[in-house]
């Protein structure tokens, strides 16, 4: 299992990845309370605009009252297209009464963790194979 971490509003934010064969199952959780708020599963496919490029298609389940669905979808699509694997992202970040600046920080921190994960994956497999 790989883990990447940072802080968000004074609380931990963690991205963990478990490989399932070539595929990736990621959890992104933190803030004041770890939980599952939304899950997205993405599958790579040829881009509709340019079949020479890889894109992805995703399905999302969001639990009532949670707002992580768009983030889980974005990250699952990015991982699936970048690594050409099926990617599942379970996301749960709890911030009590977040300001717009805190939400922006959460998005930036989450994207940064995924970028760090992808960079490590690419350096470990420079020919593009997961």
Residue 86 lies in a domain: yes
Residue 8 lies in a domain: no
Residue 7 lies in a domain: no
Distance separating alpha carbons of residues 107 and 23, to the nearest angstrom: 24
pLDDT (tens digit, 9 = 90+) per residue, 92-126?
Answer: 999 989 899 999 999 999 999 999 999 999 888 65
Residue 38 lies in a domain: yes
Residue 5 lies in a domain: no
Structural domain of 116 = 13-120
Domain count, the chain: 1
Residue 107 lies in a domain: yes
Output the domain CATH number for residue 86: 3.30.230.90
Distance separating alpha carbons of residues 68 and 19, to the nearest angstrom: 22
Distance separating alpha carbons of residues 36 and 75, to the nearest angstrom: 15
Residue 10 vs residues 13, 27, 80, 105: alpha-carbon distances, Å: 9, 20, 30, 12
pLDDT (tens digit, 9 = 90+) per residue, 70-100?
Answer: 999 999 999 999 999 999 999 999 998 989 9
Residue 41 lies in a domain: yes
């Amino acid at each position: 299992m790989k883990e990447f971490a940072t802080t968000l509003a004074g609380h931990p934010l963690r991205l963990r990845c478990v490989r399932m064969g070539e595929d990736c199952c990621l959890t992104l959780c933190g803030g004041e309370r770890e939980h599952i708020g939304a899950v997205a599963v993405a599958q790579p496919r040829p881009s509709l605009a340019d079949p020479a490029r890889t894109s992805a298609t995703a399905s999302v389940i969001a639990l009532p009252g949670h707002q992580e669905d768009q983030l889980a979808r974005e990250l699952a699509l990015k991982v699936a297209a970048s690594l050409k694997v099926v990617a599942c992202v379970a996301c749960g970040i709890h911030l009590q009464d977040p300001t717009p600046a805190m939400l922006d920080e959460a998005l930036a921190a989450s994207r940064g963790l995924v970028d760090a994960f992808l960079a490590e994956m690419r350096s470990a497999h420079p020919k593009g194979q997961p």
